[in-house]
Amino acid sequence: MSKHTYPDPDISVETEAYWQAANDGKLLVKKCDACGKTHFYPRSICPCCFSNETSWMEASGKGHVYSYSVMRRAKQPYAIAYVRLEEDVTMLTNLVEADLDELRVEMPVEVTFRKSESGQALPVFRPLKD
C-alpha cells in the first residue's frame, strides 16, 4: 500500500469525544437514551426522536459494505464506501488493506485507523479475515 494523506476532520465540542476515542483505537456511535436508537454522524440531540438524552457507545467495529466505489481518476485510486455497522447505522469511510478489484457489496469488514495530516486517527475499514 502506498502512502496516502487523509485530510483533517474538523472537530467540535459536539464531536470531540468521537475523535478522542478514535485516537484510542475505538469507534463510537451515539445512542439515544429515550428511543434507544443509534445514529450517525453523532449529534447532541437525537435525529430520530429529538430527545436531548444521548450517550456515546463503543461500536463493535464490524460491519458490511453497503456500497462502494473505486475512484480511478485519482492519482492514487482509492475506495470510498458506505459501511453498515452492526449497530445498525451506516457511515461514509474508505476501504483499505484490500485489492481494489476484489471489493464487493456486502463483504464483511472491520474498523482500523489511519492518521490524518495533523495526526488525528480516522476510522477506516478493511476486509474481515476469517
Partner 1 sequence: MARAARAYIAGIYEHPTRKAVDKTVPMLHAEVARGALADAGLSKDDVDGFFSDSSLPGLGGLGMAEYLGLNLKYTDTTETGGSSYLVHLGHAADAIAAGKCNVGLITLAGRPRAEGMQQLKSGTASGGQPPEWGFEHPYRPMVANLYAMAAMRHMYEYGTTSEQLAWIKVAASHHAHHNQHAMLRDIVTVEDVVNSPMIADPLHRLDCCVISDGGGALVVVSPEIAKSLGDRSVKLLGQGVGIKHLNGGRFDLTYTGAAISGPIAFNEANVVPTDIDYASIYDSFTITVLETLEDLGFCEKGKGGAFVSDGNLISGVGRLPFNTDGGGLCNNHPANRGGMTKVIEAVRQLRGEAHPAVQVPDCTLALAHGTGGGIAQRTGAATVILGSNDA
End-to-end, the C-alpha distance of the chain in Å comes to 21
Smallest gap, in angstroms, from Cβ of residue 16 to partner 1?
10
Per CB under 8 A, the list member of 34, 57, 105, 128 interacting with partner 1 is 105
34 binds partner 1 (CB under 8 A): no
Q: 111 CB contacts (<8 Å, ≥6 apart)? A: 27, 59, 61, 62, 123, 124, 125
Per CB under 8 A, the list member of 28, 38, 109, 111 interacting with partner 1 is 38
Q: 75 CB contacts (<8 Å, ≥6 apart)? A: none
- Apex 120 CA angle, 123 and 23, nearest 5: 65
53 binds partner 1 (CB under 8 A): no
Give the binding site for partner 1 (CB under 8 A).
6-12, 14-15, 19, 37-41, 43, 47-48, 66-74, 78, 80-82, 88-94, 105-106, 116, 122, 124
